[in-house]
Amino acid sequence: MTTLDQTTTVPASLLQGWDSIEFYVGNARATAGFLTAAFGFRVTAYAGPETGRNDTASYLLEQGDIRFVVTAGLTPSSPIWGHVREHGDGAQDLAFVVDDATATYESAISRGATSAREPYELTDDHGTLRLAAIGTYGETKHTFVDRSDYHGSYCPGFVTTGLPPEPRAEPVGLERIDHVVGNVETGKLDEWVAFYEDVMGFRQLRHFDEHQIATEYSALRSTVVTNDSGVTMPLNEPAKGLKRSQIQEYLDTYRGPGVQHIALGTSDIVQAIGALRSRGVRFLEANAEYFRDVRQRLAFLDLPWDALEQLGILVDHESDGHLLQLFTEPITDRPTVFIEIIQRGGATGFGEGNFKALFESIEREQDKRGNL
Ligand code: FE2
C-alpha cells in the first residue's frame, strides 16, 4: 500500500455505528416471515410493486436497535437474482450511519477503497437521504447512510402503513448488533485486515492463529478489527487441518467470501434462547462433556448454571469478565450464514474459550452434510 492519502480523516472515525444489514434472498416474504415468527422481529416498512417498485420486494425488520432488510428480485433480469443464483441467500450490505456520506466515501476512495456506488440521494415527503457505497470482501459492500436531512423512519420508497400481513411473535429481547464476522479467501486474511486498518482506519483488536483455533480436524485464522465506536468485525480465513475447515466449507458453498455470522446482543440470554427454542430455532449443540468441564472450570462465576446447561448456552470467561453465547445452525439452505446470540458480562472477547467446543459441534454437522 503506497498510494494512501494520509491527509484525509479516516473513514472509521466517521462511522457512528450500524445502520442496517441487507440480505439478498430468493423469497423476501418467506424470509421476513421466518425472522418475525421465529426471532420476534417486526416488519416496520415495506417496498415492492404495491409501492411503485417493479423489480424488487424489500421488508424492513426491526428489534431493539437492530435493523435487517431482506430483499428479493421480482424479474429474471434483477441483479438480486444473479447474487442469489451464485451465493444463495446472504448478507450483502453492511451499512453504517455517518454524518456525511460523500465525505466518508471520498475518504475511503482516496485511501484505496473500491466504489460500489457513487454518492446519491433519495428524496420523499420526509426529506432527503444521502448514501454512497464501497466494496469489501467478495461481493459484500458497505453503504454509508446520512440520515441528518431525512425524517422518515427508514428510506424513501418504503411505506410504513398498510404493510402486508406477516406472522408475528413476541420480540425475544435482541437489542443490538454486537459484531459481524466475514470469511475471506485462504491466504487473504492479512490483506483484508490491511484494508480495514490502512484504508478504513480500523484498529486491530485481537488475532488468533491456527494453533489457537484448531480442533483435531480443522483450523482457522481470525483477526478482529474495530472502529471503537460500536463497529467490530472479526475476519476469518481457513487454515490447513486434517480435514476441510468449516471456513472452507463456507467459501465452497457461498462460492466466495461473505458474511459468516451476525452476533446479536441481549441482556437476558436465558429468556431469549428459551423463547427461540420454543419456536423451533435450531442451535449448534455442545455435548454434555462441555458442560461438565465448564461448570467445574468456571464454578466461581455466579450464573444460573442449570438454566444455561438446560438451554445449551455456552459460557466463556476472560480477565475483564464473562460472556454467554449460542450459535444457530445456518439460517439458509446452504451451510453459510448463521446468527449468534450473545450476552456480555464485562468480557469484550468473542468466546475464544468456546471455540474448540463450538467447532467440534460444527464439524459434527459438516460430517452429516458430507463436507468434512
Ligand atoms: Fe461471534
Buried-exposed string 344-367: b where 16+ CB fall within 10 A, e elsewhere:
bbebebbbebbbebbbbbbbebbe
Q: Are 259 and 205 in contact (CB under 8 A)?
A: no
Q: How far is the CA of 234 from the centre of ligand 1 (A)?
A: 8
Q: Residue 97 — left, alpha, or beta (φ > 0 → left; ψ -120 to 50 → alpha)?
A: beta
**Distance separating alpha carbons of residues 4 and 134, to the nearest angstrom:** 16
Tell me: the pLDDT tens digits for 299-348?
A: 999 999 999 999 999 999 998 999 999 999 999 999 999 999 999 999 99
Q: How far is the CA of 77 from the centre of ligand 1 (A)?
A: 35
Domain regions of the chain by residue span: 11-146, 176-369
164 pLDDT tier (thresholds 50, 70, 90): confident
176-369: CATH class: alpha beta
- Reference 221, options 260, 256, 247; nearest CA is 247
Q: How far is the CA of 266 from the centre of ligand 1 (A)?
A: 14
Q: How far is the CA of 51 from the centre of ligand 1 (A)?
A: 37
C-alpha cell at 176: 443490538
% of the chain at pLDDT higher than 90: 77
Which residues are within 8 A (CB) of 338 and not within 5 positions of it... i.e. 6 or more apart?
A: 260, 261, 327, 328, 329, 330, 331
Residue 8 has pLDDT above 70, yes or no: no
Q: Are 189 and 251 in contact (CB under 8 A)?
A: no
Q: How far is the CA of 142 from the centre of ligand 1 (A)?
A: 19
Q: How far is the CA of 263 from the centre of ligand 1 (A)?
A: 5
**251 φ, ψ (degrees, to nearest 5):** -60, -35
Q: Name residue, grid cell 478504513.
A: 200
Tell me: the pLDDT tens digits for 35-50?
A: 999 999 999 999 999 9
Q: How far is the CA of 153 from the centre of ligand 1 (A)?
A: 29
Residue 93 has pLDDT above 80, yes or no: yes
Q: How far is the CA of 180 from the centre of ligand 1 (A)?
A: 7
Same fold, 11-146 and 176-369: yes
**29 φ, ψ (degrees, to nearest 5):** -65, -45
Q: How far is the CA of 340 from the centre of ligand 1 (A)?
A: 6
**275 φ, ψ (degrees, to nearest 5):** -65, -45
Q: Are 172 and 37 in contact (CB under 8 A)?
A: no
Task: Considering the domain delimited by 11-146, tell me its CATH architecture.
Answer: Roll (3.10)
Q: Higher confidence at residue 362 or residue 17?
A: 17
- Please report the pLDDT score of residue 355 as a whole number: 78
Q: How far is the CA of 322 from the centre of ligand 1 (A)?
A: 14
Q: How far is the CA of 23 from the centre of ligand 1 (A)?
A: 18
C-alpha cell at 162: 398498510
